[in-house]
Amino acid sequence: MKVLVLGDANVDIELRLPTDTEKETRTHPDPLMFGGGSAANTAAALGKLGTPCGFLGTVGDDSYGRFAVQSLVDAGVDTDLVRFVADEPTVMVMVVIPPDGERLIYVWPPSGGAHRALDPDEATRAVAGVDWLHVSGLCLRVTPAREAILAGMTHARSNGIPVSFDLNLRLENWGWDDGFRAVVEDAVASADFVLGSATDELMPLTGATDPIAACEAVAAGQRTAVARIGKDGAIARSGTESVTASGFTVDVVDTVGAGDAFNAGFIAASLDGLDLREALRWGNAVAALSIGRHGARSTPTRDTVIRFLAQGE
C-alpha cells in the first residue's frame, strides 16, 4: 500500500430545491447521494488517479456505512482496514441547494458519529509499511479519534514516512478555542506537509494577514505549508522557497470536496517525484476537474489530468 488515509467517512445527500418553473411543472429534482468525508474523499480521489491507497476509518454498521465503504471500493481504494461499529451511526451530511445557489449544510447526528471510534493502536499498526500517511483534522475534535490521528502521525514521522495533514478546521461550524488550537498545533508539529484554505484555515491558525505570511509561519523551516486559494490556485512554502501555481478557469457546478481533490493531486504528484510547483499544479488541476460535476467524488482519472495539464501549457 503506497498511501494510507486516516480519518472520516460519511455520506453526502444533495438536495436541490425546485425553481419556480419546476414547481409549476411538478418536476422536482431527485436527491443525490454520494460517498463523503474529508479523508475518504481524498482516498477516493487518489484511487481514481491510480495511486495505490488504503483507508482506515470507522463507520456505523448501517446502510449509510455500507454505502460509504462501497463508494471507496468503487474508486479503487483498499478498505480492509475499515471497521464497522454497532453503537454509533454513520454521519450523514445534507446539502440543500436553493435556486439562488447558496448552500445550506446540515449534519446528522449533530454530535457523535461512528467516525470518532478510531483506535490509537490500530492507527499505529496500520502505518507500518506505507509510503505516505494522509490525515484530516476533522477527527481531531472527537475522542478517541483525536488520539488515533496523533498516534498515527507520530509513529509515521518517527519512522521516516511522509505525513500530510489537511487542517479541515471548520471554524464556521465549531469555532476556535485554546484547547482545540493546542491539538491542531500538536498535529502540525508531526506533519511534513500542512495543507489548508488560506483564508479559512492557515490565516486564522497563524494570525497572518496574507497567505504568504501564513505559509511562512506554518512551515517555520521544518515542513512544507500549502495554502489553497480557490480559483487563484495555490501557494506553498518549503524551507526558504516560496512557490505559486495559478488556478484554472472552469465552469463551476459543485465545489464540495474541492480541497480534498486538491490534496489527492498534490500527494500523487509528490509520490511521482514531481517538484513542488508541479505538485501544486496537479492539485489545482484535480480540484478544477472535480468542481465541474456534482458531488465530492467527481474527481478525474490520471489520464484526464495529464491531458488537462497539457492543454493548459
Burial of 282 (0-12, 13-18, 19+ CB in 10 A): buried
DSSP per position, 171-207 = HHHH---HHHHHHHHHHHHT-SEEEEEIIIIIHHHH-
Beta bridge partners of 5: 55, 134
Query: How many CB atoms lie under 10 A from the CB of residue 34?
Result: 23
Does the bond joining 99 to the residue before it have cis omega, within 30 degrees of 0?
no
Number of residues in the chain? 313
Which one from 61, 121, 260, 303 is the annotated catalytic residue? 260
Question: Hey, CA dihedral for 55, 57, 62, 68, is it positive or negative?
Answer: negative
Rounded Cα distance between 194 and 218, Å, is 8
Task: List Cα–Cα distances, 165 to 4, 129, 133, in angstroms.
Answer: 12, 19, 9
CB-CB contact of 58 with 32 (8 Å): no
* Whether 260 is catalytic: yes
Pick from 56, 42, 93, 75: nearest CA to 260? 42
Catalytic residues: 260
